[in-house]
Amino acid sequence: MSEAQSLYAHLEGALNGTVVGLAGVRRLLAVALIARGHVLLEGAPGLGKTLLARTFARAIGGDFQRVQGTADLMPSDLTGQNVFDQRSAEFRFRPGPLFADVLLADEINRASPKTQSALLEAMAERHATIDRVRHALPADFLVIATQNPHEFEGTYPLPESQLDRFMFALTLGHPDRDTERQILGRYGGGVGGEADPANATAVLPASVLEAARGEARRVHVAPALDDYALDVVRATREHAAVALGVSSRGLLALVHAARALAAVDGAGYVSPDHVKELAVPVLAHRLALRPEASLEGRTAAGVIGDVLERVAVPR
């Protein structure tokens, strides 16, 4: 078993203690961890987004902080602020929850755009500037955010600049009957309350994570695969239904994630199937469709499907 496969097995064991189903989402969470990518989980309330994110964060270990998105949440509630210390007669910086190894931004789209923007610098550059002073974030800083669909009341759609900083945007749908039966059997016997991920997780050793990341860096990407990823990204910019195509950051995220996925699969090289599997979760949320395309019922995932059909696959 490879190092990346060992990491995935560890996370699966930790998540199985509390989370039922969501196998595909759990697999991509492991990929995001190896590739140092932030993750956005979208779905209707009550589908287990927060439980999944909390359990995953606990399994990673390190300092974990959770912030609940609300309309009155201020940027300083995330970043922290300088506080006057009367003993020393000087201001001291008191860090906020942003300075954690894993930050769970729960229902991020319920926070105002002003507060959402406090994450932009941190997610892209892994540091934060407060009162013109730059503060470094932890080396393994990771944001796991959840959001309700935009049509729900009291939400602020994330701007393109914010969405582009998430490596993956994963949609959680309603579970099938068998999965929901398992949920009922596991949690239906009590009276209220929810599962506690702290009781069911074993922390991932740092050495395993670093070894998995080193293994992903050694995964071979053939020039033809680089060209394939590049052609897919450029095709999104030329699609008739798209107003804003995938950025260069999206291209890099696709290749980095493909390396990590290949490592999780135990492969020494990236294949076109890895790129295809990741195209929707990595690229779809980065697209802005034309208004007329949206009125016609077109979706970003559908556009990515069109692109994959049109772009020639290398042998």
Q: Are residue 124 and residue 14 in the same domain, yes or no?
A: yes
**291 part of a folded domain:** yes
Q: Are residue 54 and residue 108 in the same domain, yes or no?
A: yes
142 neighbors 33 (Cβ within 8 angstroms): yes
Q: Are residue 182 and residue 63 in the same domain, yes or no?
A: yes
Burial-class residue 153 by CB neighbours within 10 Å (0-12, 13-18, 19+). exposed
SS3 content of the chain, % helix, strand, coil (to 5): 50, 15, 35
Q: Domain span at residue 246?
A: 219-310
Rounded to an integer, the average pLDDT of 274-295 is 94
Q: Are residue 157 and residue 20 in the same domain, yes or no?
A: yes
39 neighbors 170 (Cβ within 8 angstroms): yes
**119 part of a folded domain:** yes
Q: How many domains does the chain have?
A: 2
**177 part of a folded domain:** yes
Q: pLDDT by residue (tens digit) across 108-157?
A: 989 988 888 889 989 998 888 888 888 899 888 999 998 887 666 677 88
For residue 295, give the 3-state DSSP assignment. Answer: helix
Q: Are residue 33 and residue 175 in the same domain, yes or no?
A: yes
pLDDT of residue 54: 83
Assign residue 80 the CATH number of its domain: 3.40.50.300
Assign residue 227 the CATH number of its domain: 1.10.8.80
User: Residue 285 gets which letter from DSSP?
Assistant: G
Q: Are residue 176 and residue 49 in the same domain, yes or no?
A: yes
Query: Do the strands 90-95 and 288-289 form a parallel or antiparallel pair, or are they unpaired?
Result: unpaired
**280 part of a folded domain:** yes
- Within 13 Å and on the Cβ side, how many CA atoms surround 69? 28
Q: Are residue 163 and residue 248 in the same domain, yes or no?
A: no
**199 part of a folded domain:** no
The residue among 261, 225, 246, 210 whose CA lies nearest residue 60 is 210
Q: Is the pLDDT of residue 198 over 70?
A: no
**301 part of a folded domain:** yes
Report, in angstroms and rounded to the nearest whole number, the Rg of the chain calculated over CA atoms. Answer: 20
Helices (H) and strands (E) in the chain, counts: 14, 11
Bridge partners (DSSP) listed for residue 105: 67, 145
Q: pLDDT by residue (tens digit) across 174-191?
A: 888 888 888 888 777 765
Q: Are residue 158 and residue 235 in the same domain, yes or no?
A: no
